[in-house]
Amino acid sequence: MGDISVIIVSWNAQRYLRECLASIRQTGGSTVHEILVVDNASTDGSPEMVEKEFPEVDLIRSSTNLGFAGANNVGIRKATGSLLALINSDVILHPGCLQQLAAVLKNDPRVGLAGPKVCGADGNLQRTCRRLPTALNLLNRVLPLENILPNWPWFSGLRMWYAPQTRCSEVEVLSGCFWLARRQAIDEVGCLDERFFFYAEDVDWSKRFGDGGWKLMYVPEATATHFGGGSTKNAPLRYSIEILRSNLLYWKIHHGKFGLAAFYLVSLGQHGLRLPVRCLACLIGRADQDTRHKLQEHFVCLRWLLTGKTA
């Protein structure tokens, strides 16, 4: 029997969840000890599908939407494996993925968190290793140097555009779409912070692992496909507000009042300056669907920043 407990949080993502579980069934083999699905009060038949098609899965139904962090913590507390794979419902594992990640953790006892190379449905690389947010990152976003000089390490922002991400390496942040975590490390740094309802909990957890002396390893030999938006597409504008809310919380926790104020002002400037540009594009008839969505996004985010209202 393997020592990996797989934890999947799902919210109204039935089709993606089916494909995710099928890929685990096909690739996990003896490495997987158990699979836990924590359902965040889905109404699309996801829990019933799991019960019918994947009887080996331990389904945990929540009567309310606990958010990403809260629901994952339910799974973490119930899991019994020494390694915990936290996998988004819209991820498909490729052969050998879990095995490659597990080997890295087993070969180096100071590795607390590992993540695979992730591509989108179009086959393009999704940059899942990042740098921690800093004042310099904020400055690069405001100017915006991260768009002008993406291949320069000092100016490329959070996503490390200058790095090819082709070799196993230690990083500062691993995206929360797919983690393999060591139970011992979780016991030391704690579970995910449930103050983050959705988004930025991965940055916070990565920072806490690093602060605790644990290595975070990017493992490109392990591969997976991440469709993205499997749950968030159900409420895209709410998702935009949650991104803002979570980032503000992160800066407050890790950078204090000054950091919080700096991020607030940057966000206010970004949405405030881009809103009229999108409006103009709509007025002159040069707005595609993405531009119209961005216009709505800037409006709801600006309103939330100024008034705290979501509707």
Residue 31 vs residues 2, 35, 55, 194: alpha-carbon distances, Å:
4, 11, 18, 29
Report the alpha-carbon distance of residue 44 to residue 42 in Å, rounded: 6
Do residue 197 and residue 247 come from a single domain?
A: no
Report the alpha-carbon distance of residue 155 to residue 14 in Å, rounded: 40
Which helix (H) or strand (E) covers residue 181, if one does?
Answer: strand 178-182
Do residue 195 and residue 223 come from a single domain?
A: yes
Report the alpha-carbon distance of residue 133 to residue 207 in Å, rounded: 10
The 10s digit of each residue's pLDDT in 36-52 is: 999 999 999 999 999 99
For 247, the domain range is 235-307
Do residue 113 and residue 259 come from a single domain?
A: no
| pLDDT band, very low/low/confident/very high, at 232 (cuts 50, 70, 90) | very low
Q: Is residue 146 a part of any domain in this protein?
A: no
Q: Is residue 145 a part of any domain in this protein?
A: no
Residue 41 is predicted with a pLDDT of 95
Predicted TM-score of the model (pTM): 0.87
Do residue 116 and residue 40 come from a single domain?
A: yes
**219 and 100 in contact (C-beta within 8 Å)?**
yes
Please identify, among 184, 202, 231, the residue that sits at the C-terminal boundary of a domain: 231
Tokens of residue 41, six digits: 């009060």
Report the alpha-carbon distance of residue 65 to residue 166 in Å, rounded: 37
Residues with Cβ within 8 Å of 273's Cβ and at least 6 positions away in sequence, in order, are none
Q: What value does the mean pLDDT of the chain take?
A: 90
Q: Is residue 105 a part of any domain in this protein?
A: yes
The 10s digit of each residue's pLDDT in 83-131 is: 999 999 999 999 999 999 999 999 999 999 999 999 999 999 998 998 8
| pLDDT band, very low/low/confident/very high, at 142 (cuts 50, 70, 90) | low
Tokens of residue 185, six digits: 């490390």
